[in-house]
Structure 1
Amino acid sequence: MVQVTPLLLMLSLALVTPSLSSRQCVLTGKWTNDLGSSMTIGAVNGKGEFTGSYHTAVTATTNEPTVSPLQGSQHRTNQKGQPTFGFTVNWNFSDSITVFTGQCFVDKNGKEVLKTMWLLRSRVENMKDDWKATRVGTNVFVRLQPQKE
């Protein structure tokens, strides 16, 4: 009779259990960021394109923020499961537009995270005010609802 030691059992389980790093990060779904804004990203098509909606929790205008459309693209040839992407939000409540770029990661706990950088361009009255028309920042998004496997 073969005696199975606890160490041998743990090693065999480690080989059978898929690693967290092999888990795919999927853009489709509902996300929230570190400022309380939320977005929904629809299915990514065969060309890597997607659409969705964005509701910001922060604004520099006095207008009430409303849900605004987003459209973007995911890098199609990424086979490692942590794709790069970019999307544009055309704000419904102001004369501005924001472009985001980032990467979808799976952290060490198996949680999907979107690390992004953005540029927000606001309309200004004339060229001499161009210097104050663009803002830059970063956001970290986490999934609101777990993705079904």
Structure 2
Amino acid sequence: MVHTTLFLVVLSLALVAPGFSARKCVLTGQWVNDLGSNMTIGALNGKGEFTGSSHTAVTATTNEIQLSPLQGSQHRINQKSQPTFGFTVNWRFSDSITVFTGQCFVDEDGKEVLKTMWLLRSRVDNIKDDWKATR
């Protein structure tokens, strides 16, 4: 009887465990945001660095949008299941660079989600216009 009860407890935990287990969020892969912008992040190297590409769906310029390189780093000391990261995109179609910082999460449904903040720096002609160069 003890073995049967123990088996049922273990079986019950195994069936419920996926909801409790912390699935690791992995940056590597393709990502699409709610505006239709997309990016691809390559594999992390031993230092936690990565490269990839980004294609934005939103721009303030009239230039044709082009696929642009990105490079970044994931916090590698903290090997938790939902890591922090940062990356820079050097836009090929405009004279601007955007930096992103954020964290990779696994939501209640098991879906990987990136939550980020960003700053975009555009070139201006003189220092007097510096105030309007960062968004």
Query: What residue is the counterpart of 2:112 in the other structure?
Result: 112
TM-score (norm 1): 0.81
Q: Distance in 1 between matches of 2:54 and 2:20?
A: 29
Structure 1 residue ranges, 4+ long, deviating more than 6 angstroms after superposition: none
State the Cα distance separating 1:78 from its structure 2 match: 1.8
Give the length in aligned residue pairs: 131
Amino acid at match of 1:29: G
1:13-48: per-residue Cα shift (whole Å, max 9, x none)?
A: 452234455100000000001211000000011100
Amino acid at match of 2:13: L
1:37-81: per-residue Cα shift (whole Å, max 9, x none)?
A: 000000011100000000000000010100000000000022321
| Secondary structure in structure 1 of the residue aligned to 2:120 | strand
| Secondary structure in structure 1 of the residue aligned to 2:128 | helix
Query: What residue is the counterpart of 2:13 in the other structure?
Result: 15
TM-score (norm 2): 0.89
- The answer to whether the 8 Å contact 1:50/1:72 transfers is yes
Q: Kindly indicate whether structure 1 or structure 2 has the higher relative contact order, using CA contacts under 8 Å at least 6 residues apart.
A: 1
| Secondary structure in structure 1 of the residue aligned to 2:130 | helix
Question: How many percent of aligned residue pairs carry the same amino acid?
Answer: 80
Q: Which runs of 5+ in 1 are unaligned?
A: 136-149
Q: Quick one: structure 1 residues 126 and 20, their matched pair in 2 at CA, closer, same or farther if it must change by over 3 Å?
A: farther
Is residue 29 from structure 1 mapped to residue 29 from structure 2 by the alignment? yes
State the Cα distance separating 1:109 from its structure 2 match: 0.6
- The answer to whether the 8 Å contact 1:21/1:106 transfers is no
Q: Distance in 2 between matches of 1:34 and 1:133?
A: 25
Q: Which has the higher helix share?
A: 2
Q: Distance in 2 between matches of 1:74 and 1:100?
A: 12
Query: What residue is the counterpart of 1:142 in the other structure?
Result: none
Q: Which runs of 5+ in 2 are unaligned?
A: none
Amino acid at match of 1:122: S
Is residue 126 from structure 1 mapped to residue 126 from structure 2 by the alignment? yes
| Secondary structure in structure 2 of the residue aligned to 1:82 | coil
